[in-house]
Structure 1
Amino acid sequence: MSDIRIDTLGKRFGNTQVLHDVSLAINEGEFVAVLGPSGCGKTTLLRCLAGFERLSAGTIAVGGRTVSSPGRHTPPEDRGIGVVFQNYALWPHMTVAQNVAYGLKIAGLAKAERAARVAKVLDTVELGPLADRRPADLSGGQRQRVALARCLAMQSRVVLLDEPLANLDVHLRAALEEEFARFHAQSRATMFYITHDQSEALALADRIAVMDKGRILQFAAPRALYSEPADETVANFIGEGRVIDVRSLEPMGAGRARAELLGRNAPLRCRPDQRAQPRARVSFHPGDLHLVPEAEGIPAHVIRASYRGAFLRAEVMAGPRADIPFTLNIPAPASLTQGQRITIALRDGWVLPAAA
């Protein structure tokens, strides 16, 4: 079993509370990403799970076994957890094969069995021909695969990854994203992936926990996180989200509603229990705005338009007084010029829960 249960976890360094009542229930074999800005506490959370930090409050259980609490601390080496660090943490004087085999040697595995397992996992990550090279002779992506092979060799049922793509260029990052997905599919390990990069989290994870100031704000599938944020902080953080006031919110049933946005009717999604309100806050993304005929939408004028390949990114000032900034993505082919007057409308938005 490799499910993870984190219950009301707290971590304090001196007088500074870094983690506040963090609770997560992660299923066996699930790929979970923890996403948040620098300093939000996500790496401290990983270090607590790995056993590198002792808890100030709460508990951590892996596979039904409590490994951390204020009165109990299982050492990192006894948790059955593999860790892939941002800097790879490879021994520079050892070959690729020796790096992968080192943990097995410490565990007392027989030499023949050790060699067989190392050969198998190196083939799995397509590094068999490089077994005798040293880390200095490898690319960043190859070093990352050595770190993954080390987790595979130890047959870790839980793998923690601490911003593993942060030091790589954009092309290599894309290739390694595929590598992590393949690794997860083959190993079926429970993956706990720390990142500040939204695209990584959205592409890889089964569920994402958004953190801010040491707290979990929302834990949901990528699609739900993007389209149904729990509060304004999540809405503003995910996918260039924007939050704006609307008037006369009227639920229509089946999770749909309508409201007045800058004098125009706007179709919205909402929770099934949403009530009518004179005012509400709505979140949306640049792709949720579109051009409409003059009589049907909100007047705006273009401040800047930039070509992005598949779409044109337009920054506009909108509303009766032309004082509300919006960004919208217009599918190609499209052409707008600075100062041009246009009319826009919201085709989809999410009513933020009133309790948030």
Structure 2
Amino acid sequence: MALEPVTIQNNDPLIYFHGRWDRSPGTWWAGSGLKLNVKNFESLTLNLGPHTTTPLTSVGVSFDYGEFITANISEGPNPIPIPESFNKSPGTDNTVVRINVEGWQNNRMNLESITLNPECFVSSIYSFKSGVPIHWRLSVSCKLLHAMFSTIFVQCSISRVQGQFLPKGVDQAWPFLVGETFKAEHVVNAQPGAALSDIVSFGNEHGVSYQFFRTEDTGYFYTTDHNFTTPWNFARDIPAATHVVIHIGANDAAQNVTDAQFIQVYTDFVTRLRTIYQHQPIFVFTPWGWPNPDGTFGEYYVGDYQKIVDLRHASGDENVFLVNTTGWVTYADVFPAYAIFISSATYLSI
């Protein structure tokens, strides 16, 4: 008599959800996904519901922290291919399976259940054989990066953080690469073209100063089954961030947001972040600038980031620091080349 496969439902506490998931449950924002810790692992099928992107969405899948491979999934059962390079003998060790949506759009994975091979055992994601809990978390919201390597970075950044033009999307973007370097979890909330200011910008109905605090990314505006936003419960981010990195402003400049307006919205944003991340150091990154062939950089909001830091200090918040990132990206690295992400990740990983 054949043994029955193991099926776990979407409300099983042994599934470690990361990123932004709605109640369906379904993903929003590039990089959102899940993790499993499986003993005797041989096969996995994602069973997805009707809120999954049609005709498909692309996810990155990694086994035991190996390279992420792309799988295209859609509503219904989706057997996940196992790469030939993964050759662990059944029954010997636990396997960590990581799955996340790659894209900044068409990125909804509506999980109903997961089917695994017979005689496998699923255990907590906090009990890997290394004995070190996965307390590392990476999140980026067009901006925001929570990367945890016994710390977490929350980073607000320009649109390229989500890997808009890269073959594997966010899995090749610099926040993700930084997380991989430090063996961090990855939760990336990034949207190309969105400003920090809450304005319409390059197809985004809202800015990051609004959208970061919502479950949904700005793609909600173009959906028919979920054309609304809901507040994000930051208590679901377990564990909480320990460091905050903010790197944003290019799209505000492109939308002619004035220096005074930008300073105000940025300062208000940090003030609101402080209600969530009350004691964490905040690192304000200056722009990379627009690199030119002659080695110079086109800059925007020159001096404004220093003013923002000074305003925080004047309010009594001394735990805010300025980081000059000009020159991290050279003309040879320009967007959308993969090199730009390698360059930035290298600086952040030093």
Q: TM-score range by the shorter chain?
A: under 0.3
State the TM-score, normalized to the length of structure 2: 0.26
State the TM-score, normalized to the length of structure 1: 0.26
Higher helix share: 1
